[in-house]
Amino acid sequence: MTEKLFAFDERNYHECQSTFRGENNQEYYLGEYSIDGGSKIDVRADKKAVGAYSIIRLQSRTNLSFRRTWSHIREDATDVTVLWFVKRGSLYINHQAGTSIAHAGDFLVTKSMAPFSMECRTDDQDLHEVLHIVVPSHIFRKFVSAEINAGFCTSAKKREFRIAEAMLTEVYDDSEELSERVEHILVDNALAVLAERLKNCEDSLHERQSLSQKRRQDVLRFIEIHLSDPKLSAEMVAQACGISRRYLSHLMRQHGTSFPTLIWDWRLKTAHEWLSSSMADDISISEVAFRIGFKSPAHFSRLFKRVYKVSPREYRNNRLAQRDAMKSEDAQSKDAKTMETKSIKSMSPKYYGAGSSSLQ
């Protein structure tokens, strides 16, 4: 039998951050979870536990977002691999290797030990639905020993994907007709089928890195963890990664940038993403600046405006105005539908004198 993991509507969606991991706060992993406000807030996730696995169906009538950073990973080192089947709407994932977009009918992989941000977007009928399975990574490696690329996305039209999805759906929908052992066997076999398909998918597995690539990954990982530290410097990074400042500069030049440019660009991008979400609505611009490592809010505002052509405050105010306009349009549309319904009722036969000679 399935159990409710969470359910949110306009009355309680502000509580999603503290309750999205279930009653015992043990599902998924630590991160920043938010629900877009609007007139159609209806979000529900139901879970089927099978041993160490969790099969979850998430359905929503509004957009959702989730963000997991190195800070969250340090605080909560839950190591799971999540395999997503997108049924309605789409998933937008920003990860270390870039951006992945999964539409209805696609398959996607996310990993909890790599930072990422996710947007769950509804379709043109305001619906979003995904079926996903949360697998402890040490168990998943028994099926695929090679490292799967976080953010890997592909069409799920291949027969192996369809078979695996059907098996997981059968287990999820089972109403205690199957024994726990049979359910576990079915899930294991579904993962084995997926693993065989993934081994043959282009770009699904990590390529072996050169020494310079590994060094650069170490540098980027350290920078991301300490990005909010205003004392972050080239000397600090070089010392932590066991390389010289000269070699650090060489790694930066190989990718057409410099250490200061990389840091400022990264911080500004982080600020832009933050100001684009509802999580920063009630935070002062000064606090945003300090949280991403700027010593001076004025310096932050000047650099932000240089890149995005508006100040941070103007950017946030514009986004809030757009959101309020959308809410107003939704309210007007709802009122118009109500008036239309009343108008149709007033035109029912009893208002025309049903049975009169003119209609016979």
Residue span of the structural domain in which 227 resides: 211-314
Q: Residue 81 is encoded by which pair of tokens?
A: 């691999």
- 167-193 tens-digit pLDDT: 999 999 998 889 999 999 999 999 999
CATH number at residue 75: 2.60.120.10
Domain boundary among 164, 199, 234: 199
Buried b (16+ CB within 10 A) or exposed e, 244-256: eeeebeebbeeee
- 251-275 tens-digit pLDDT: 999 888 999 999 999 999 989 888 8
Query: Does 326 fall in a domain?
Result: no
Please indicate, yes or no, whether residues 194 and 283 belong to a single structural domain of this protein. Answer: no
Checking DSSP bridges between strand 53-60 and strand 42-50, what pairing results, if any? Answer: antiparallel
Q: Residue 281's pLDDT band (boundaries 50, 70, 90)? A: confident
CATH number at residue 223: 1.10.10.60
Total of domains in the chain: 2
Query: Does 105 fall in a domain?
Result: yes
Across the chain, mean pLDDT equals 86
Rounded CA separation 162/262 (Å): 42
Query: Does 346 fall in a domain?
Result: no
Query: Does 341 fall in a domain?
Result: no
Please indicate, yes or no, whether residues 106 and 151 belong to a single structural domain of this protein. Answer: yes
Please indicate, yes or no, whether residues 127 and 218 belong to a single structural domain of this protein. Answer: no
Strand, helix or coil at 93?
Answer: strand
pTM of the model: 0.60
Q: Report the candidate in 130, 147, 14 with the shortest Cα–Cα distance to residue 79.
A: 147
Please indicate, yes or no, whether residues 177 and 57 belong to a single structural domain of this protein. Answer: yes
Average pLDDT (282-298) is 90
- 301-348 tens-digit pLDDT: 999 999 999 999 999 888 888 877 776 666 666 666 666 666 665 655
Query: Does 359 fall in a domain?
Result: no
